[in-house]
Amino acid sequence: MTSPHGEREKIVSKLPTDLRQALKVRTAQLGIDIQDAVAEGLRAWRGLGSNLNRIDTSGAESFATWLPDGQWEDFRADAAARGVSLVQGLAQSVQLWLEKNPAPAVTRPSIVERKVICNQKGGVGKTTITAGLGQAYAEAANTLSPVRVARQMTDSGTEAEVESLPGHGLRVLLVDFDPQGHLTQQLGHQPLPIDGDSLANHMAGEPKGDLSDLIVCVDDERFGGRLHLLPACSDAFLLDVRLSRVRMREAALERAMAPVENDYDVIVVDCPPSLGMSMDTAVHYGRRREGEEPGCSGVGIVVQAEDSSADAYTLLVAQIEDLRSDMGLEMDYLGIIVNLYDGRRGFIATSSLAAWKAIKDPRVVGVIPDRREQREAVRMKRPLLSYAPACEQSANMRALAREMT
């Protein structure tokens, strides 16, 4: 028989569920075909000088793969000669391959990555994009989840193709920099009391304690304690006034965040819908630092496929470019995210999307469709990737995280 990878024969046996899942995850982590891993494991098992300890194969379920011609017959002969059942021998072979091919360590950036999600226009969905990105980065590296096929834009009205890939397993901090506190509330937390400490206090040089004491964990087993939140406080409405008295005020957010940065791999900032001084501090925070690779940190701009988003985009980019020029910043655009897209809305939506794609630099890195699961997750005050991990919206968020890495 011919498999998708050349001359091979299909074999059907049984394998314990836990081994089958471990095999599926490990091969995805290492970028190896399952059939190649099984073939390698069988070769290693046949080369052993003695039998391995028995594996509990009770409850083993059907397992099929493709092997090089003749390998299964040779394995059957060896298993019979050594007094081992085929199911037991296959289980030992898979376990042997897993032991010889350990899971790769999570790759942590040497400089914390700072993703600044912004647009001075409200209502475009910056908060949902911020939350989705952070969740995608924090998902476990030993768990497979559906991810939209790279660069496939979901603007046709049909669901995108997906593939199962392991999570990033990174330590993530979501920063609710918007005094309205939508990110904080969406994730089931309360804004900080206005008479207590806050990020704004630290930026203004008037802290009442350690910034780390304000951070809370997004307590969900899917993220394994890796996803944290710095809640909003309504005192940020007055932040621009307070910053007017601060020296080097553009760097105020960076100074405030410095004490906690070493605890995280990625920091995602949900910016307010503003072109004020607070926006300048966020842009400055996302600048490329000395020794940092291009595209790791920077600004992601969330828009919608309608005319007012284009006007707001022009104003925002003008402010970013002025700041970059005035301060000599190395600033990277992480891309344009077209959010809440629905091609059924007709010419305005489709022509606007075409206009966004025509920009090229920065390029469109994601077209996120308007789906009910996101709205339901917000209503339930739960993370989307936990509330509906297999939905198209979650698959899109994971793809977007990979595009912005």
Write out the two tokens for 192.
Answer: 């900080």
Q: What is the pLDDT of residue 305?
A: 85
For residues 232 and 239, the answer to whether their CB atoms sit within 8 Å is: no
Consecutive H or E run containing 270: strand 266-270
Instruction: Enumerate domains of the chain plus CATH numbers.
Output: 2-100 (1.10.1220), 113-403 (3.40.50.300)
- The span from the first CA to the last CA of the chain, in angstroms, equals 41
Q: What is the pLDDT of residue 158?
A: 52
Full DSSP string of 39-79: HHHHHHHHT-SSPPPP---TT-EEEEEEEETTHHHHHHHHH
Could you give the maximum distance between any two Cα atoms of the chain, in Å? 84
User: How far apart are the C-alpha atoms of 117 and 301, rounded to whole Å?
Assistant: 6
Going by C-beta distance under 8 Å and a sequence separation of 6 or more, which residues neighbour residue 345?
A: 305
Q: What is the pLDDT of residue 3?
A: 54
H-type helices in 194-340, by residue range? 199-203, 239-243, 252-257, 277-285, 307-327
One-letter amino acid of 232: A
Q: Nearest 5°: phi and psi at 393?
A: -65, -40
Full DSSP string of 180-222: T-HHHHHTT-PPPPTTS--HHHHHTT--SS-GGGG-EE---GG
Q: Could you tell me the pTM of the whole model?
A: 0.89
In DSSP terms, 175 is beta-bridged to 230, 269
For residues 386 and 187, the answer to whether their CB atoms sit within 8 Å is: no
In DSSP terms, 67 is beta-bridged to 9
Q: What is the pLDDT of residue 232?
A: 95
User: How far apart are the C-alpha atoms of 312 and 178, rounded to whole Å?
Assistant: 17
Write out the two tokens for 294.
Answer: 């291009």
For residues 187 and 231, the answer to whether their CB atoms sit within 8 Å is: no
pLDDT lower than 50: segments of the chain: 1, 153-154, 157
Q: Count other C-beta atoms under 10 Å from residue 375's C-beta.
A: 13
Going by C-beta distance under 8 Å and a sequence separation of 6 or more, which residues neighbour residue 377?
A: 186, 383, 384, 387, 388
User: How far apart are the C-alpha atoms of 298 and 171, rounded to whole Å?
Assistant: 18
